[in-house]
Amino acid sequence: MCDRPEDKPQTDDAAWEDLCHQCGECCFEKTINSRGKILTTAIPCRFLDIHTRRCRIYPDRFKHEEDCIKLTPENVAELDWLPEGCAYRNLSDK
């Protein structure tokens, strides 16, 4: 949970992970419309528990889902598909 959205990303992995709201909004499939805009669909990742909004295989997600991307302080500014309200997007928008 991000209690301090005004904070800059911290280098510590746990502190970085703690920024996530665990809303699960980033874990829905994306599509690109005819104008090239990335849209989020209503189709969740097969590993997302839609009730808890948690990944069911989080520690092993990169082994089982090749499209899953690790969010880092270095790449979040480039990931234009992160939903509005995402803690990491909000940090990179500053």
List of residues contacting ligand SF4 (CB under 6 A) = 20-26, 71, 82-83, 86-88
Q: CB-wise, 14 or 35, nearer to ligand SF4?
A: 14
Q: How far is CA 5 from the centre of its chain?
A: 15
d(CA 16, CA 4): 12
Q: In whole angstroms, give the CA distance from residue 4 to residue 94.
A: 14
Considering beta carbons, is residue 22 or 73 the nearer one to ligand SF4?
Answer: 22
Shortest distance, position 89 Cβ to ligand SF4, whole Å: 7
* Closer residue to ligand SF4 in complex, CB, 25/65: 25
Instruction: Give, in degrees to the nearest 5, the angle at Cα 44 between 30 and 82.
Output: 45
Q: What minimum distance in Å lies between the beta carbon of 76 and ligand SF4?
A: 9
